[in-house]
């Protein structure tokens, strides 16, 4: 059996409430008994209740339409937000890769400190240049992701901090290569001095350690921020999926 149209049902209830008000006004004088007296006494309340019922049936189709629109919007949003989550996961993987690929830096610095520069003057700069290329690739990646998300946020600030730290690490590595070449080539440094003064060398060497440590901490922090954001985005996706299939509000 076909259900009656909600709009027609609401209109019928409203007509009934108007008819009830009119009838109780007419029937009172005709049928002056206790039933009609009581009905006339409560006619305002009865009419209000009927009006509420009519309003409910009139609003039900609108509510169903809004619920369907929300479900469709959630389904459309899921696809877009999934892409955002996947992009964040790729970014996190590249940050981890950059951190892992620079694993040779501590070993290079150990050789710089403990071996004769004249023995490694050819091989050490080449190894350092390889690490610089890794830095350059990582910096390009992080700068690209930073440009995609220029709005201020904790994750964006972590990106900027990591970029600055890696730039500083690369600059210090270039500085050590320059020092090595000046020391082993026999070229003068300043005012006819052959080598860089020990105190200045130590200061620049210590700066390399500080910048490398700063990069390690910045990369770890960026990894953590990206992981936190990825978790939040996937939680949001699951909620939207439940809305899309009609099991959540």
Q: Give residue 247's pLDDT.
A: 61
Q: Give residue 121's pLDDT.
A: 84
CATH assignment of 73-244, given 3.40.50, 1.20.58, 2.30.30, 1.10.3470? Answer: 1.20.58
**Domain spans of the chain?**
6-71, 73-244
246 three-class SS: coil
Is 60 exceeded by the pLDDT of residue 22? no
Of the chain, the end-to-end C-alpha distance in Å amounts to 30
**Which pLDDT band, with edges at 50, 70 and 90, does 23 fall under?**
low
Residues 6+ apart with CB under 8 A from 97: 138
How confident is the model over 38-96, as pLDDT tens digits? 556 666 766 677 677 766 666 666 666 666 666 667 677 778 888 889 999 999 999 99
164 three-class SS: helix
Task: Tokens for 105, please give them.
Answer: 């830096």
How confident is the model over 102-141, as pLDDT tens digits? 988 999 999 999 998 888 888 999 999 999 999 999 999 9
Distance CA 226, CA 233 (A): 10
CA angle 152-156-157, nearest 5°?
Answer: 90
């Amino acid at each position: 059996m076909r259900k009656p149209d909600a709009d027609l049902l609401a209109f019928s209830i409203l007509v009934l409430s108007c008819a009830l008000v009119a009838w109780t006004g007419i029937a009172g004088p005709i049928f002056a008994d206790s039933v009609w007296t009581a009905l006339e006494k409560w006619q305002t309340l009865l009419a209000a209740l009927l009006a509420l019922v009519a309003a409910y049936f009139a609003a039900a189709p609108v509510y169903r339409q809004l619920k369907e629109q929300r479900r469709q919007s959630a389904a459309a949003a899921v696809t877009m937000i999934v892409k955002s989550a996947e992009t964040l996961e790729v970014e996190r993987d590249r940050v981890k890769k950059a951190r892992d690929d620079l694993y040779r830096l501590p070993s290079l610095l150990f050789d710089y400190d403990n071996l004769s520069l004249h023995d490694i003057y050819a091989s050490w700069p080449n190894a350092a240049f390889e690490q610089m290329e890794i830095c350059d690739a990582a910096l390009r990646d992080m700068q690209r992701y930073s440009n995609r998300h220029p709005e201020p946020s904790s994750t964006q600030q972590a990106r900027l901090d990591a970029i600055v730290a890696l730039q500083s690490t690369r600059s210090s590595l270039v500085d050590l290569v320059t020092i090595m070449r000046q020391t082993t080539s026999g070229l003068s440094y300043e005012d006819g001095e052959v080598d860089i003064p020990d105190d200045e060398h130590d200061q620049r060497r210590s700066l390399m350690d500080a910048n490398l440590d700063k990069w390690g901490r910045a990369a770890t922090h960026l990894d953590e921020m990206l992981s936190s954001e990825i978790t939040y985005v996937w939680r949001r996706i699951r909620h939207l999926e439940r809305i899309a299939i009609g099991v959540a509000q």
